[in-house]
Amino acid sequence: MAVVKFTLNGKAQSVDVEPRMPLLWILRDVLAMTGTKFGCGGGFCGACTVHINGSPVRSCQTLASGLNGKSVTTIEGLSADGMSHPVQRAWIEEDVPQCGYCQSGQIMTAAALVAKAPNPTDADIDEALHGNLCRCGTYQDIRRAVHTAARYRRAQIPADEKAQEKGVLA
Ligand code: FES
Ligand code: FES
């Protein structure tokens, strides 16, 4: 066992676990945070996607030993109320989920995309989300919702940040 210290949804977190324990099981079994889903366990489906330092990663493939000092965000930490992040608002507006099982992973991947691509194309969306599988086939709804989320985000961000994205400010 080893103590691992990282930031989880903006708060300091410490767990005493086997160094080879995947982050997915730290979240679900140690910390009882079940919003992040177990799908394949092999890095193929994307159901377990979280952010580490702002980038989407497969938590089933991320070992405890690599977490020290990192910042982890899960679906529970995307917004304070669970629905006000632009991607969450868009998912509700566009009525995306069917069974819902893959959706926290889809949302986390989409949130990372709209954070770095203010106006993603269909190709950008397909490239970012191609590794997130959905048994219910919600892909067209997801693509539409990502466009909506990007629009919400563009409307939210402050004017000086918009100027930076357009290259007006250094
Ligand atoms: S559960 Fe991690 S990629 Fe499928
Ligand atoms: S909504 Fe059912 S697996 Fe994606």
To test ligand 2's pocket by mutation, which of 38, 75, 138 has the most ligand atoms within 8 angstroms of CB? 138
DSSP letter for each residue of 138-159:
-HHHHHHHHHHHHHHHHHHS-H
Could you say which ligand is closest to the alpha carbon of residue 28?
1
Instruction: Give per-residue pLDDT as tens, 34-48.
Output: 999 999 999 999 999
The CATH homologous superfamily of the domain defined by 86-163: [2Fe-2S]-binding domain (1.10.150.120)
Q: How confident is the model at residue 163 (pLDDT cuts 50, 70, 90)?
A: low
Average pLDDT estimate for 15-44: 98
Fold matches, 2-76 and 86-163: no
Q: What is the largest CA-CA distance in the chain?
A: 51
Instruction: Give the residue from 68, 137, 146 showing the smallest Cα distance to 113.
Output: 146
pLDDT at position 161 is 65
Tell whether domain 2-76 is in CATH 3.10.20.30. yes
pTM for this entry: 0.92
Question: And the tokens for 108?
Answer: 């986390």
Asked if residue 107 has its Cβ within 6 Å of ligand 2, the reply is no
Asked if residue 102 has its Cβ within 6 Å of ligand 2, the reply is yes
To test ligand 1's pocket by mutation, which of 25, 58, 109 has the most ligand atoms within 8 angstroms of CB? 58
Contact between 9 and 77 under an 8 Å Cβ cutoff? The reply is yes
Asked if residue 35 has its Cβ within 6 Å of ligand 2, the reply is no
pLDDT at position 81 is 92
Poorest-confidence range of 53-57, 62-66, 78-82, 129-133? 78-82
Residue 85 has pLDDT above 90, yes or no: yes
Residue 169 has pLDDT above 50, yes or no: no
> Domain ranges in the chain?
2-76, 86-163
Asked if residue 103 has its Cβ within 6 Å of ligand 2, the reply is yes
Q: What percent of the chain has pLDDT over 90?
A: 90
Instruction: Give per-residue pLDDT as tens, 87-120.
Output: 999 999 999 999 999 999 999 999 999 999 999 9
Could you say which ligand is closest to the alpha carbon of residue 109?
1
**Ligand 1 atom at minimum distance from 40 CA:** 4
Q: How far apart are CA 36 and CA 84, in angstroms?
A: 18
